[in-house]
A and B are shown apart, each in its own frame.
Chain A
């Protein structure tokens, strides 16, 4: 048993458990906290795949920026517990469980039925995941998408300001 195997199973279980907590918690704040735990588990999984830069960005952008924004909006709206839907048998939940277990079965069958033949991380993975190499590739081969994404972020910032500032006419 080496460290990658132990880390994979511990972090994978943590990621699945916090994901289930996110879907089942009534209170939005505890759902948000379990999603933050989920993002940390995923950052650890990226580290087991030698993707150091992506792991750091995962914590900075997701667990830091995006989740702070989400928690801020939850606090701003002063949301309490989600009231339960009608107490009687809920067809939507039953349908959701049936559909998602069918989807899970189908995807797992597709992934696990034929072995991919890749049993080991490529020796070059450690170099690929380093910030220097990511920077090299990003600013040589992917310079056009990089500039396009900056335009997209600008448009998103302008759009959210306009949406949030608009007066609601009654």
Chain B
């Protein structure tokens, strides 16, 4: 195989694989902090798609979106970790299957 240029599809496929790994982690893991990290990884996979489109189309809108996604992810990190802390203080657990008050 001799490739001289990387087509856009390669970046899209890579970010799809990363997104699916993150989604699998969200479904399988019990630890709320690891679920939170998997969500960050899914956000990053989408960022990679946006930057790839921005570079291949020569349009800066994609990189603006990545900038705003990063700001929202920072806000989400602050609030999400505060929720995990409050949960741990009231229940002494971070395992999501032991917190089922709002499940059914």
Contact = CB atoms under 8 A, between A and B. Distances in A.
Interface string B15-50: 011111111110111110110111011001001100
A160 B99 CA distance: 20
B72 interface: yes
Query: Do most interface residues of chain B lie in helix, strand or loop, or is the interface mixed?
Result: helix
Interface residues of A, number: 86
B20 A100 contact: yes
B29 to A, nearest CB: 7
Interface residues of B, number: 72
Interface string A41-71: 0100110011101100110011001100110
B5 A129 contact: no
Interface of A: 2, 4-5, 8, 12, 15-16, 19-20, 22-23, 28, 31-32, 35, 38-39, 42, 45-46, 49-51, 53-54, 57-58, 61-62, 65-66, 69-70, 73-74, 76-77, 79, 82, 85, 92-93, 95-97, 99-101, 103-104, 107-108, 111-112, 115-116, 118-125, 128-129, 133-134, 137-138, 141-142, 145, 149, 152-153, 155-157, 159-161, 163-164, 166, 168
